[in-house]
Structure 1
Amino acid sequence: MSDARPLVLLIEDTPSLAALYVEYLRRESVRVAVATTGQEGIGAIRSQAPSVVLLDLNLPDMSGMDILKEVTANGYGCSVIVITAHGSINTAVEAMRNGAHDFLMKPFDPDRLRVTLRNALSHQKLLSMVETYRETYDRQGLAGLIGTSLPMQQVYRIIESAAPSRATVFITGESGTGKELCAAAIHKLSPRRAGPYVALNCAAISRELIESEIFGHVKGAFTGATTDRDGAASRASGGTLFLDELCEMDLSLQSKLLRFLQTSSFVRVGGNHEETADLRFVCATNRDPLAEVKAGRLREDLFYRLHVVPIHMPPLRERGEDVLLLANHMLTRFAKEEGKQFRRFAPEVEAMLVGYDWPGNVRQLQNVVRNIVVLNDGETVVPGMLPHSLGAVAGGRALPMAAVPPAVPGASAEDVGSIRPLADVERETIERAIQLCDGNIPRAAELLEISPSTIYRKRQRWIDEGIVLAVAS
């Protein structure tokens, strides 16, 4: 059984000192290896990078500082503790500048060595946790999906867990949130990636034709069926079938789909013999599937057969700064397609994009950016280039025209004069929430149902404008 304790490499050319240091560390939960020359030490690091290197700077064949530079330059991930009998401030500064974690000057007592080593091991553990966090929670995107927000990180983790299995995935979310991209990502990361990926929108096909689109038909099955035709089930065999807007499917067809899910067999429209298909189902809806079951529009047995791994695609308004990441990606792509010069958004435009609610989600953002690129040109997108629907923005938040109430009959001048700028009301509301939460901005953001990054951005803008905040940043 392999030893899981951290490995410590001691590079020390004096045998008596090496033996003494090993004895100091005998009761520590570490493995200690010893190298007596610089070349031997470098070879040991290259062979198996230790967690910590205890490095004597004065070695017979080379300077320990060169070993330190080698470790830092090649990213071995070791914490290096430099040991020397010729310590000085300049030597310490140089060692730390070259990547040393700490510095020990001979002679030192056992406790000093043990504490320094424990600190270095704790530092290594923290670095490992940070790296794990970055890999798990701080990704820019996954298999065509783009976003760094926490809701999207959760989506990535579910996709990566579900993709290798055969389990059916049920994706929910508002229109335009990227449900089809999510389905495609599951296929790309699955063992079926080499097989076909077939997407079918149940809302875009008439009730009379959708059965044929899924299962196919034989010649003469209905008017216009002049030849046999494979359906999506046959075409997706060996791969993935994505059924979008599943709740739009007719109840009679839902029963046939359920049988197909249970048996992997189906009969073409107008046919009389069964065929089989080996495929994985991924489905999606922009409705609440449980509400559809209660309303009788979605079969309960079909819902539970499909609802194995649920994934909810978050609306764009809940994804914070993702809107800027997406917008810049789209701007670069569309500018290249249209032969335009656009490279960036002006800061005030960025504020408008992040502050807007995006009822149409990512699809609406895509349309807005394409509209800007097609109708304008230049290196920077400025407010005047925004479509009218985004142009009337107050306090960083777009106001749909339908939300403006009509004039109140008989309103007095005093009543009208009591109306205050929305930006002022918004600022006071945010500052009041922060006060009530004892300065805890994430908690205030949660209660206000906005992203913490929105509060930080707005407060910075207020500071830049010389506005005194009720709660100091």
Structure 2
Amino acid sequence: MAKPNVLIIEDSPSLALGYAAQLEEAGYLVKLATTLAEAREALSGGTFAAALLDLQLPDGDGLTLLQARIADAPAFIVITSDGSLSRAIAAMRLGAFDFLVKPVSGTRLLSTIRSAVDQAQVKENKTPKGLPKDDDRFHGFIGRSPAMKQVYRTIQQVADSRAAVFVTGETGTGKEVTAEALHAASRRSRRAFVAINCGAIPENLLESELFGHVKGAFTGAVENRIGAAKAADGGTLFLDEICEMELKLQVKLLRFLQTDMIQQVGSSRAEPVDVRIVCASNRDPFREISEGRFREDLFYRLNVIPLHLPALRERGDDILLLAGRLAASIAQEEGRGEMELSKASRAEILAHAWPGNVRELQNTLRRAIVTAPDTDIEVNIPHGAASRMAGGASTAFPPLQVAARPADPHGPFPVDLSGLNGLTLAEIERIVIEAAIERQYGNIAQAAKRLAVNPSTIYRKLEKWNE
């Protein structure tokens, strides 16, 4: 088997020779270029699987090689200093495979080159994956609106990159479906996809869940356990509700992203892993950063490829398309045979704002199908103001009547108990929990602290209410 060719574009002779020595020892054929002109000449006269690219070159900016969209271009790996991290991220958005921060460890250099070469070899042996022109399905999504087609295009463009993807969007828009689509469309699809909810796991267990632990590391650690990062080695690690992660663990996650090395709880040995990171949040990360709950340096490590999912109300006719497909699927699951949405239900679906997005639509349709006396699906949506407000909280219960909100979210919790007359204890519990979440601006962990319960308790209840 022919040795892969790697081009090193670096004007520092000591660095270039150091990289070359490590790569040649690992079995690669290496060519050096110290200027943009030499790099262009090398690229036009030969084929390379990967290229290390320094952005600061004597005769110009290394980004111009990415902007030029050279035919049969290699997988560019940008090498940058900490001060030019923003430019490295710009390079990723132009199609760079990955970026490395100087000084680069030998382990990180070789693992990144290996991944880039593997991608090049996979591309040689497969047919191009274009977007379906007429189909309205795409890796778990249903929809053909312009907003969703843009999402599909982005997924296709970045699927094979190692660049981290930060998915944002309202609850129920399909953030985990997006992560699964990125995995399925990538060369990593034959390896594991591992999802972990950073908000549903108690703080003292999240590090162990993420990085693993050795036997005896803490009370209850009765055996060695690999974490999610190791389980996803070679595949994709999805970190949901990333903004819920405690600051102490954010530091360790940042270290992992910088080194590609994990250290199990209770162990003194670090080991390399190769994972593609996809994370998601339904909260505004910029607000979390400004209020000190999320590290800015971690955000810029994770937000290399930003991907925002449109709310269901922003997807036009996708709403009826989704409703029809979901209704048919749910009816089959429930053993109801062929069923059809009534004309009134279709109008009702179009008129509703769907603050809970696709998840709310699924639950509404399931309720209508299960209770339908015949083959007509009659959708009944609560008409309260809260359920109609775009982006508001969806609830079948009357809103808790709270007096003027105090400026301090930790202050007293004044309520008008007359609004609770006739409600069951379970209904009152839900109203109180949702009000606590609202008072803490969507922060589940803080709401749980105020209610003196574990965050996982709230997440279980939210999941149950959304069924």
TM-score range, shorter chain: 0.5 to 0.7
Task: Name 1:204's counterpart in structure 2.
Answer: 200
Task: Name 2:416's counterpart in structure 1.
Answer: none
- Hey, what's the Cα distance between the residues in 2 that align with 1:174 and 1:361? 8
- Hey, what's the Cα distance between the residues in 2 that align with 1:382 and 1:304? 47
- Hey, what's the Cα distance between the residues in 1 that align with 2:226 and 2:383? 44
> Comparing 341-350 with 224-233, which one deviates more in the overlay?
341-350
Amino acid at match of 2:152: Y
Amino acid at match of 1:206: P
Are the counterparts in 2 of residues 342 and 373 from structure 1 also a CA contact under 8 Å? no
The alpha-carbon deviation at position 323 of structure 1 amounts to: 1.3
Are the counterparts in 1 of residues 263 and 269 from structure 2 also a CA contact under 8 Å? yes
> Comparing 316-325 with 232-241, which one deviates more in the overlay?
316-325
The alpha-carbon deviation at position 351 of structure 1 amounts to: 0.8
Amino acid at match of 2:374: G
Change in Cα spacing, 1:333 to 1:220, as seen in structure 2 (3 Å) is same
Task: Name 1:243's counterpart in structure 2.
Answer: 239
Question: Counterpart of 2:226 in 1: which secondary structure?
Answer: coil
In the alignment, structure 1 residue 183 sits paired with structure 2 residue 176: no
- Greater relative CO, 1 or 2 (CA 8 Å, sep 6+): 2
Task: Name 1:353's counterpart in structure 2.
Answer: 349
Task: Name 2:294's counterpart in structure 1.
Answer: 298
Task: Name 1:230's counterpart in structure 2.
Answer: 226
Q: Write out per-residue CA displacement over residues 77-114 of structure 1, whole angstroms, 9 at most, x where no aligned residue.
A: xxxxxxxxxxxxxxxxxxxxxxxxxxxxxxxxxxxxxx
The alpha-carbon deviation at position 338 of structure 1 amounts to: 1.0
- Hey, what's the Cα distance between the residues in 1 that align with 2:232 and 2:174? 21
Amino acid at match of 2:346: E
- Hey, what's the Cα distance between the residues in 1 that align with 2:150 and 2:224? 44
Amino acid at match of 1:336: Q
Question: Counterpart of 1:311 in 2: which secondary structure?
Answer: strand
- Hey, what's the Cα distance between the residues in 2 that align with 1:218 and 1:393? 48
Aligned length: 266
Amino acid at match of 1:365: L
The alpha-carbon deviation at position 137 of structure 1 amounts to: 7.2
Are the counterparts in 2 of residues 316 and 358 from structure 1 also a CA contact under 8 Å? yes
Question: Counterpart of 2:279 in 1: which secondary structure?
Answer: strand
Task: Name 1:442's counterpart in structure 2.
Answer: none
Are the counterparts in 1 of residues 353 and 387 from structure 2 also a CA contact under 8 Å? no
Are the counterparts in 2 of residues 176 and 361 from structure 1 also a CA contact under 8 Å? yes
Q: Scaled by the length of structure 2, what TM-score is found? A: 0.54
The alpha-carbon deviation at position 141 of structure 1 amounts to: 2.6
Runs of 5+ unmatched residues, structure 1? 1-133, 406-473
Amino acid at match of 1:204: A
- Hey, what's the Cα distance between the residues in 2 that align with 1:377 and 1:204? 38
The alpha-carbon deviation at position 382 of structure 1 amounts to: 2.9
The alpha-carbon deviation at position 166 of structure 1 amounts to: 1.3
Q: Write out per-residue CA displacement over residues 101-145 of structure 1, whole angstroms, 9 at most, x where no aligned residue.
A: xxxxxxxxxxxxxxxxxxxxxxxxxxxxxxxxx967765131111
Question: Counterpart of 2:166 in 1: which secondary structure?
Answer: strand
Task: Name 2:160's counterpart in structure 1.
Answer: 164
RMSD over aligned CA atoms reads 2.7
Runs of 5+ unmatched residues, structure 2? 1-129, 402-467
The alpha-carbon deviation at position 252 of structure 1 amounts to: 0.6
- Hey, what's the Cα distance between the residues in 1 that align with 2:320 and 2:385? 17
Question: Counterpart of 1:227 in 2: which secondary structure?
Answer: coil
Amino acid at match of 1:253: L
Task: Name 1:255's counterpart in structure 2.
Answer: 251
Change in Cα spacing, 1:286 to 1:393, as seen in structure 2 (3 Å) is closer
- Hey, what's the Cα distance between the residues in 2 that align with 1:284 and 1:137? 28
Task: Name 1:53's counterpart in structure 2.
Answer: none
- Hey, what's the Cα distance between the residues in 2 that align with 1:177 and 1:139? 20
Change in Cα spacing, 1:135 to 1:267, as seen in structure 2 (3 Å) is closer
The alpha-carbon deviation at position 150 of structure 1 amounts to: 1.3
In the alignment, structure 1 residue 219 sits paired with structure 2 residue 219: no
Change in Cα spacing, 1:392 to 1:229, as seen in structure 2 (3 Å) is closer
Runs of 4+ displaced beyond 4 Å: 134-139, 387-394, 398-403
Are the counterparts in 2 of residues 136 and 153 from structure 1 also a CA contact under 8 Å? no
Change in Cα spacing, 1:172 to 1:227, as seen in structure 2 (3 Å) is same
Task: Name 2:371's counterpart in structure 1.
Answer: 375
Amino acid at match of 1:178: G
In the alignment, structure 1 residue 270 sits paired with structure 2 residue 266: yes
